[in-house]
Structure 1
Amino acid sequence: MASAKPTPTDSDSLSSCLAQLTAAAREGLGGTKDTAINETPLGRALLALHTRHLKAAGGIERFRARGGLHPLLVLLRRASPAAADPAPSLAGPGSAPSSIQSAASAGPCPSPSSASLSTLDLVLSILADCCTERACRTEVRRLGGILSLVTILECGKTDSIQNRAARALGNLAMEAESCADIHSAGAVPLLIESLTAYQDSPCLQSVIRALGNLADSPQHRLALAQQGAVRPLAELLAAAPDPALTLALVRALLELSRGCSRACAEQLSLGGGLGPLVSLASHPKRTVRESAILILANLCAQDLVRPALGNAGGVEVLLGELQQRRGPGGAGPASQQPLVQAVCLLCREAINRARLRDAGGLELLMGLLRDPHASAWHPCVVAALERFFYDPGALGQLQALGLAPLLAGQLCGELGDEEEEGKEAASRDSPEERTPERVEARSFRSLGSQLISEGYAAGPEDISPDRSPERSWLVLGVAPDDWPTLRARPPCQRSEHRELGEMLLQNLTVQAESPFGVGVLTHLLLSGSPEDRVACALTLPFICRKPSLWRRLLLDQGGLRLLLSALTRPAPHPLFLFFAADSLSCLHSLMSPTVSPAPPPASPLDIDPPSPCHYEPLLGSAPSPAPDLHFLLDSGLRLPAQRAASSAASPFFRALLAGSFAEAQMDLVPLRDLSPSAAWPIMHHLHGCRGCGAALGPIPPPGQPLLGSEVEEALEAADRFLLPGLEEELEEAVGRIHLGSQGGPESVGEVFRLGRPRLAAHCARWILGPGQCPRKRALALVGLLEAAGEEAGPLTEALLAVVMGV
């Protein structure tokens, strides 16, 4: 018969339970039988303590006052899986050793019995409950309980043991002295290991809570981050855990990110935590939502993570939260402070400034400047506004918001200094500044004087981006319409104009290749508006001369593809085409600086003397050798031929004339859909002529259309008859005639219309090669785009191949 369930009796009183606990501590665990824990005297005592006495009002204090912690910790050591030596006696508890190695020196952790595990579970639960009281935490630390818990954490490889040991350590970590001892005992690596070794949610919650409580000081937070505690937390958060685990994670990450260290920010980003945190910023549970927002605000202290944070949507989240807290019925200044600082720090990168500007950040910053209750934040806000100085659109918006009167009212006195951040907070766009004027540059006076000195304002009352000179024709030094006039000027005037343009371009190149300039260009290329992205790609070949830089921006990050795709959009602006042709030509010279440019195709008069003709001897009255075959055209014209030579020249004619077709036995073989002019170069090619001049026959002179002409027919026939050598010869002849000295920009489009890849490459080389004036380049590019029409793929590939030097 099954034993009856024990009922509370006098044997379960607190005195009896303490007596059983003391006896077990003195004598051991009372046998090694695998008996159920609740059927032994010690088991009943532990259950009574856990379920009744400690939960009663004042129960933990009575347990401590009557000396229960000492035998409990001795029993903890005896029940521990690492207990290999006899436990210390009750007479001398001593203090905690300095490290975990002394406890583990006996060898690997033995496998405990089920009775020991049950006892250990109960003892750990009781100890964790006791450690919720401050006096108990002090006593446990004095009795060496921290090292025992760390030893169990290392050896007790079950969910329940890890859960209860971590819970007890988490409670102990609420005391600063205990927190330091836990760090010194080596608990942090074991807790971090548990994050990946266990899947049980309650166990993970206890481990996560312990890590969060151990982040009680800047030194301890840094130690946790340096030991790798943040990344597994971020990875758990990215795995979309259950609600309870999510709450534990954001609470721990909030503690770890206070005064955010570089290691913390880097691990949180590498662990994929930025996106989940942005998503949790709209969580229905207030604690989760506010913790996620504050974590994002803390991360803004590190420049290395701010661009990625902006890409994940953090800018809009932080700005929206600050706007809400500053609205009617919003929170007080204390809750706004971390968000104000975060928004101001986000202004240090161009990629985030654009997001802030588009999301209403300028209005919010101006509102802070007008708010007398926000005066403590004014230096930080002014420094943030200063970052928008080179953004004409933002300056125009600030003028409309009343920046000029606000600056004028503040010019009579300086504001306080902006709070200094660590060097990690410095902008990712620009190099670190260490000038003595750095603090002064963050004042209203400095911002106003910069606006005036750069021409944006004639005085404090006049700030206008419209006064800036037209970011002028910097590259060419002249408007496209004035180019012919410039070419007519004396060489000395043209030289002066060119020197001025080159000087300005050199200065711009120096700025573009600085860390700040690289950041601006990268932001414009990857995250700017469509117009800004195209303009950046258009300008890059002129202002970037470092191969590593323009290769990264134009090739790896798609700037070249972006520029080429903009060319083929419907109705591009003529000025854009004017600059695009020059930009691509400049890039071509950068890509192949050591390759000698191909000479321009020659006119027919410049062609070398023709090679000997092998077909003409067949055409005379006494042909030698005598033809053994004639080809019959649709017009009725008979063309003499040699069967052996024709069969050897092409797989098509070999199969036709020497195979199993009827034509192999015929002396008069018809060739359909072929005019005499188109057949002429084919006959010459079949009989071994290479460069005899026959390929020039079907080509019309420059100025006449090629599409629908006899040369197009000849090209199609060469393709049909499998004569690739003739195709290449005909295409080369077309290029020499129409893209040579007698051809002009209008011929480029005509050649491209033939739809031949090699001729498309010839057209691209004509535009991008050296020696062409910008106006002719642009006109030729217009003709190419008109010829390409909606089928722009071949044109894009041809330009790309020529630019890349393929």
Structure 2
Amino acid sequence: MRDFNLYQETCQLAIRDVGGLEVLINLLDTEEIKCKIGSLKILKEVSQNAQIRRTIADLGGLQIMVKILDSVDKDLKCLAAETIANVARFKRAQRTVRQHGGIKKLVGLLDCRTMGSSHATPLQGKDIEVARCGALALWSCSKSARNKEAIRKAGGIPLLAQLLKSPHSNMLIPVVGTLQECASEPSYRIAIKNEKMIENLVKNLNSDNVELQMHCASAIFKCAEDQETRDLVRQHGGLKPLATMLANSDKKELLAAVTGAIWKCAISEENVTKFREYKAIEALVGLLTDQPEEVLVNVVGALGECCQEPANRTIIRKCGGIPSLVALLTGTNQALLVNVTKAVGACAVEPENMQ
């Protein structure tokens, strides 16, 4: 079966239509490790398809995969966790994983220290892979508020903090992805600060990997509501890479995360001074046109905060920012209008701007 192109939708649906999924899921219940591995290698590929994810869940496949997470075979654990990561992209599947004790087992996979020997030997590649696959599955599961709570209760936060020090971007993406998903909860934002994760989030803003940069910026966006976190971002040198990334105006998802992080960091006046040094104000004014609303809300929010400094109010005028701000007053997006009226009000403190 693996000779077929399992990434092709026609092959994926053909396997489903001839009853292949039932057979593959039954194989997961055997005692034979090779059967399970072969079956999971196929399920992992075909579960990229949304219809197939639902069928696997309907057939009780998730419950069996959660059991397999207890296996001693590391390849098997990895495949089960990666397949769970694919299947658990919708609410019901996320709930099933939690109700069958899957969150606790997946958090267990993050703990590289318990694997291998008790001596402080360097981690084996396999253990790192097990932790990576565990993080991938938690990332999918963490879209549910109850699962966020379950990950926290299972002791996931310190383990994610540990993995955040990893040098490998393929490990960091699911780890930071999970953290930024969970950072919508206040308990996680406090933990991210207390576990000293801000430093590593800032460090990875300088990564070559755009997806990793985006998740780091997004986590900072959510955490920087807090004064202490904003100071930490500055102290660890995070403001300069954020300002530099404003030049990536073609990468919309990255831009939305970066402008969001700048907006929240700019609530602190010391940070605004830095942003002026790094020429962020000019770059933000340049983003006031031809951007999606999600980006505009953040850009205008950031400019409103930067207007705390009189010098920046002048910069906005000299860059031609006032007409662009005024033009946005005709929109219908409420979040955007709130930010635009604030920014216009803040600019209008200067008589020349008011005109």
TM-score class normalised by the smaller sequence: 0.7 to 0.9
- CA offsets, 1:325-345, max 9 Å, x none? 2xxxx4587754433332232
Partner of 1:233: 201
Give the CA deviation at 1:362: 8.7
Q: Any unmatched runs of 5+ in structure 1? A: 25-29, 31-36, 80-115, 389-394, 404-806
Distance in 2, matches of 1:186 and 1:121, equals 20
Give the CA deviation at 1:165: 0.7
Partner of 1:347: 307
Give yes or no for the alignment of 1:248 onto 2:215: no
Counterpart of 2:301 in 1: which secondary structure? helix
Counterpart of 1:305 in 2: which secondary structure? helix
Matches within 5 A, 1:461-540: none
Give yes or no for the alignment of 1:145 onto 2:114: no
- CA offsets, 1:550-576, max 9 Å, x none? xxxxxxxxxxxxxxxxxxxxxxxxxxx
Give the CA deviation at 1:14: 3.4
Give the CA deviation at 1:55: 4.7
Distance in 2, matches of 1:66 and 1:370, equals 54
Give the CA deviation at 1:289: 3.4
Give yes or no for the alignment of 1:128 onto 2:85: yes
Distance in 1, matches of 2:49 and 2:354, equals 65
Amino acid at match of 1:14: L
Counterpart of 2:203 in 1: which secondary structure? helix
Counterpart of 2:196 in 1: which secondary structure? coil
Matches within 5 A, 1:13-412: 13-24=20-31, 40-52=34-46, 54-55=47-48, 58-79=51-72, 116-155=73-112, 158-196=127-165, 198-238=166-206, 241-242=207-208, 245-258=209-222, 260-283=225-248, 284-322=250-288, 325=289, 330-331=290-291, 336-349=296-309, 353-358=310-315, 360=317, 364-365=321-322, 368=325, 373=330, 377-378=340-341, 381-386=344-349, 388=350, 395=351, 398=352, 403=355
Give the CA deviation at 1:173: 0.6
Give the CA deviation at 1:42: 2.8
Mapped contact 1:316–1:355 kept (Cα < 8 A): no
Matches within 5 A, 1:399-438: 403=355
Distance in 1, matches of 2:294 and 2:205, equals 28
Distance in 2, matches of 1:160 and 1:247, equals 19
Amino acid at match of 1:360: R
Counterpart of 2:247 in 1: which secondary structure? coil
Distance in 1, matches of 2:319 and 2:145, equals 43
C-alpha distance 193-6 of structure 1, shift in aligned 2 (>3 A) = closer
Amino acid at match of 2:231: E
Amino acid at match of 2:344: V
Report how many residues are paired: 322
Distance in 2, matches of 1:68 and 1:331, equals 43
Mapped contact 1:131–1:168 kept (Cα < 8 A): yes
Distance in 2, matches of 1:136 and 1:310, equals 47
C-alpha distance 144-256 of structure 1, shift in aligned 2 (>3 A) = farther
Give the CA deviation at 1:141: 0.7
Alignment RMSD = 3.3
C-alpha distance 359-215 of structure 1, shift in aligned 2 (>3 A) = same
Partner of 1:498: none
Mapped contact 2:239–2:271 kept (Cα < 8 A): no
C-alpha distance 165-230 of structure 1, shift in aligned 2 (>3 A) = same
Mapped contact 2:202–2:216 kept (Cα < 8 A): no
Distance in 2, matches of 1:287 and 1:333, equals 12
Mapped contact 1:278–1:312 kept (Cα < 8 A): yes
Name the structure, 1 or 2, with higher relative contact order (CA <8 Å, separation 6+): 2
Mapped contact 1:296–1:314 kept (Cα < 8 A): no
- CA offsets, 1:443-492, max 9 Å, x none? xxxxxxxxxxxxxxxxxxxxxxxxxxxxxxxxxxxxxxxxxxxxxxxxxx
Say which one has the larger Rg.
1
Mapped contact 1:17–1:49 kept (Cα < 8 A): yes
Distance in 2, matches of 1:195 and 1:179, equals 18
C-alpha distance 68-17 of structure 1, shift in aligned 2 (>3 A) = same
C-alpha distance 17-234 of structure 1, shift in aligned 2 (>3 A) = same
C-alpha distance 45-314 of structure 1, shift in aligned 2 (>3 A) = same
Mapped contact 1:260–1:302 kept (Cα < 8 A): no
Give the CA deviation at 1:316: 2.0
Mapped contact 2:176–2:212 kept (Cα < 8 A): yes
Give the CA deviation at 1:49: 2.7
Matches within 5 A, 1:791-806: none
Matches within 5 A, 1:6-17: 13-17=20-24
Q: Any unmatched runs of 5+ in structure 2? A: 5-14, 116-122, 332-336
Distance in 1, matches of 2:323 and 2:2, equals 73
Mapped contact 2:282–2:315 kept (Cα < 8 A): no
Give the CA deviation at 1:301: 1.9
Give the CA deviation at 1:361: 5.3
- CA offsets, 1:488-518, max 9 Å, x none? xxxxxxxxxxxxxxxxxxxxxxxxxxxxxxx
Distance in 2, matches of 1:206 and 1:303, equals 33
Matches within 5 A, 1:663-702: none
- CA offsets, 1:604-653, max 9 Å, x none? xxxxxxxxxxxxxxxxxxxxxxxxxxxxxxxxxxxxxxxxxxxxxxxxxx
Give the CA deviation at 1:299: 1.6
- CA offsets, 1:387-429, max 9 Å, x none? x5xxxxxx5xx1xx664xxxxxxxxxxxxxxxxxxxxxxxxxx
Matches within 5 A, 1:575-590: none
Amino acid at match of 1:381: V
C-alpha distance 379-66 of structure 1, shift in aligned 2 (>3 A) = closer
C-alpha distance 368-279 of structure 1, shift in aligned 2 (>3 A) = closer
Distance in 2, matches of 1:402 and 1:364, equals 13
Distance in 2, matches of 1:361 and 1:302, equals 24
Counterpart of 2:164 in 1: which secondary structure? helix
Distance in 1, matches of 2:323 and 2:53, equals 56
More helix by share: 2
Mapped contact 1:221–1:256 kept (Cα < 8 A): no
C-alpha distance 300-56 of structure 1, shift in aligned 2 (>3 A) = closer
Mapped contact 1:170–1:214 kept (Cα < 8 A): no
- State the TM-score, normalizing by the size of structure 1: 0.36
Counterpart of 1:277 in 2: which secondary structure? helix
Mapped contact 1:208–1:249 kept (Cα < 8 A): no
Amino acid at match of 2:92: A
Distance in 1, matches of 2:327 and 2:92, equals 51
Give the CA deviation at 1:359: 5.2
Amino acid at match of 2:175: V
C-alpha distance 316-23 of structure 1, shift in aligned 2 (>3 A) = same
Partner of 1:455: none
Distance in 2, matches of 1:297 and 1:214, equals 20
Counterpart of 2:192 in 1: which secondary structure? helix
Distance in 2, matches of 1:310 and 1:138, equals 46
Mapped contact 1:153–1:165 kept (Cα < 8 A): yes
Distance in 1, matches of 2:143 and 2:108, equals 20
- CA offsets, 1:145-181, max 9 Å, x none? 1111111101355331121111100000111211222
Amino acid at match of 2:304: C
Counterpart of 2:37 in 1: which secondary structure? helix
